[in-house]
Amino acid sequence: MYTQNRANNFSAIGEYILSNNDIDTTPLKYNIIEYTTPTSSLMPVDITRHGERGTIPGDTIDREQSTMLRFILDENLDVYFNLLAIQEQNANNGYSNDSLILDIQNNYRSSIAIGTYQNCWIGTISPIRYAIQEQETTVYVEVTLNFLQFKLDRV
């Protein structure tokens, strides 16, 4: 049995907001079954005071600007072809003003947070992968998403 664009517990529904409508993509909601929020690190500053060395919190927070997302594919592979078209458009422009908005949901499919990747572009699209669990087939691709900013808001 082929499962069409199905998401499991603690999934997210993504929606691309394209700044440039030159590409003809099917309007889709993207089911994402694996994602990570970006890492942020407060960088320490080394100090020496009265002969003792240590660190104190610095004034710079480094934020990760790349993450991996796993998109579930539909039976007609519209999701896959849309991702390829978006990647091609970014390559032709050399920049991206696109956004990806994730509606992060819990086990009961209730929204718990909204994540927004701004100025995002698709770096890598994996081969199409097929996984079978308990007589259900899930078809997905892994995408490396690069971005300038990420914001996570509680719903």
- Please, which pLDDT band fits residue 131 given cuts at 50, 70 and 90? confident
- Please, which pLDDT band fits residue 95 given cuts at 50, 70 and 90? confident
Backbone angles phi, psi at 83, to 5 degrees: -60, -40
- Please, which pLDDT band fits residue 17 given cuts at 50, 70 and 90? confident
pLDDT of residue 135: 75
- Cβ contacts of 79 within 8 Å, gap of 6 or more: 5, 28, 30, 71, 72, 73, 141
Query: Which amino acid is it at 65?
Result: Q
Mean pLDDT over all residues of the chain? 85
Which CATH code of 2.30.110, 2.40.160, 2.40.128, 2.60.40 fits the domain covering 12-154? 2.30.110
Nearest Cα residue to 8 out of 48, 40, 42, 35: 35
pTM over 0.75? The answer is yes
Indicate the domain borders of the chain.
Answer: 12-154
DSSP letter for 94, please. Answer: S
- Please, which pLDDT band fits residue 21 given cuts at 50, 70 and 90? low
- Please, which pLDDT band fits residue 6 given cuts at 50, 70 and 90? very low
- Which residues, listed in sequence order, are joined to residue 31 by a DSSP beta bridge? 13
pLDDT of residue 7: 47
pLDDT of residue 5: 43
